[in-house]
Amino acid sequence: MSSKFEIIPFEVFLKLVNNFSDELLELGQFIVHDSLDQERDTERLYARLMYASKLVEDLLDYHGAKNNLSWYKYRELVASVLNFSSASFTMKHIISRMEFYEIGQELAFLNASYKVHGFLFTSLARLCQELLAEARRLGLNIPPFALKRERFSNLSSDQLLESDIADQDLLEEKKNIVRITTAYLNISKEFEALGFYKQIPAAGLSTIIPSKANEELLRKYEMAIHNLQSSFDTYVGRHTHGPESHQLKRLRDHISIALHLLELGGRLSHFYERHIYDVGHKDFYRQIQGVLMELVDQDRLVDAIVNYAIFYCNEYLAKGKGLSQELLNHYIQRSEITVGVPVKLGFHCRPCMLVAKIVQHYGGQVEMVVGEDRFDASSILELQWAGGKVHRENLSQVIFSGDDRALADIQILASINYGEDTMGKGISLPPELSYLK
């Protein structure tokens, strides 16, 4: 079968790239010229640069520049500019909105943010300078430097339009708050399990990416947090009534900062893995890789990913857990159930573990009530203490009180003797409890 493609001559392709590169090279000159004054960078500048570099990257990829000796370096520089303009856009957003986020940010986070911001801008300026040099080598036309500062005014502001749309109660808003806060707690618990609860010394950073953290992992959590924020904005009212309105705003801020940090980490991880990390490419590719490593400080890049984006994402997800728990416990539907005690062996380790896992899965408050005493049903240890009292008083039934979602599953678990036979051997769980496996 004959190929659908034909070889395009260098001169013809040069003219084509010229037609698409004018705005990119014009903006590149502006970035290089502006690099001595980092306060002048704006989201609008980065957005324009993202669009212009993406357009040229697509053109180059459509024509196979990745596999061409003449155009490969130009293609890698364009892709690098795209990565760093996108990361800089996110970083500028974080910097601009930081004072409006109610996340209890500390001085260390503020200082780290400005440090990463400076690193990204400096790296982008170096990449643009190299891009312009490569464009000249190829024979591309460099537009005359004519952009004015006024074209790139700041996006962020401390002014708001009057809020004059009447409040209204959204359908099932309380249920959606319960769903969102539950999801937040589960995501934060998962992310915390990755182990980035402290910053890593410089000597240990080289072992982190991609073995322990990588673009795929960060994009996974970015999507989860993005979905959480989207659900919040769709199903939670703009002006929720009552004292919880301020708490909901704070929760939205914690979700937002986590999302932007994951966006930043994912974009920088993409650049590191795609353009810097050595996976055994041919010598020619390594030469271009070496050029990029001279332009972008590899140590500072990995530090920005791990000790800034990932570390502070974990930090602020963890800080939002208490707030999310309070909101969840306020909005959950509460009820009580009376269930039997596990036959023969009572509340020993396995039944207690399964009950606790159910409660932890939903996140809402549930207590086991034994006489006048109440025990936290999310704690295996407290359930075992309760089980000791049940055994001493020879009780055949106990009460569970709290989140009715968890109670429904505890009722199912109790109906199959808490997942074990009378000899204490585990039995199959029904599909409704598959998450316990």
Q: What is the pLDDT of residues 8-30, one digit of tens each?
A: 999 999 999 999 999 999 999 99
pLDDT of residue 172: 86
How confident is residue 238, by pLDDT bands cut at 50, 70 and 90? low
Assigned domain for 133 exists? yes
Out of 288, 305, 331, pick the residue that ends a domain. Answer: 331
**What confidence tens digit (pLDDT) does each residue in 248-306 have?**
999 999 999 999 999 999 999 999 999 998 776 678 888 999 999 999 999 999 999 99
**Average of per-residue pLDDT across 190-202:** 95
Assigned domain for 187 exists? yes
Q: Please tell me whether residues 242 and 297 are part of one structural domain.
A: yes
Q: Please tell me whether residues 244 and 387 are part of one structural domain.
A: no
Q: Please tell me whether residues 197 and 299 are part of one structural domain.
A: yes
C-alpha distances out from residue 314 to 97, 221, 261, 322, Å: 19, 11, 10, 14
Q: Please tell me whether residues 209 and 254 are part of one structural domain.
A: yes
How confident is residue 94, by pLDDT bands cut at 50, 70 and 90? very high
Phi, psi at residue 176, to the nearest 5°?
-70, -35
**DSSP code, position 310:** I
Residue 89 maps to which CATH number? 1.20.120
Assigned domain for 410 exists? yes
Q: Please tell me whether residues 199 and 93 are part of one structural domain.
A: no
Domain that includes residue 287, residue range: 170-331
Query: Is residue 1 over pLDDT 50?
Result: no
pTM of the entire predicted model: 0.91
Helices (H), 9-71: 10-34, 43-62
pLDDT of residue 152: 73
Q: Please tell me whether residues 280 and 355 are part of one structural domain.
A: no
pLDDT of residue 283: 80
Query: Is residue 430 over pLDDT 60?
Result: yes
pLDDT of residue 36: 56
**Average of per-residue pLDDT across 306-318:** 98
Q: Please tell me whether residues 185 and 275 are part of one structural domain.
A: yes
b/e per residue 61-74 (b: at least 16 CB within 10 A): eebebeeeeebbbb
The mean predicted confidence, pLDDT, of the chain is: 91
Q: Please tell me whether residues 6 and 116 are part of one structural domain.
A: yes
Q: Please tell me whether residues 277 and 422 are part of one structural domain.
A: no
Out of 299, 331, 363, pick the residue that ends a domain. Answer: 331
Assigned domain for 323 exists? yes
Q: Please tell me whether residues 327 and 344 are part of one structural domain.
A: no
Q: Please tell me whether residues 217 and 265 are part of one structural domain.
A: yes
Assigned domain for 200 exists? yes
Assigned domain for 165 exists? no
Assigned domain for 158 exists? no
Strands 373-376 and 366-370: antiparallel
Q: Please tell me whether residues 323 and 178 are part of one structural domain.
A: yes
pLDDT of residue 254: 97
CB 387 within 8 A of CB 343: no
Assigned domain for 161 exists? no
Query: Is residue 168 over pLDDT 70?
Result: no
Instruction: Give the count of domains, the chain.
Output: 3
pLDDT of residue 281: 66
Out of 331, 353, 371, pick the residue that ends a domain. Answer: 331
CA triplet 43, 49, 55: central angle to 5 degrees?
A: 135
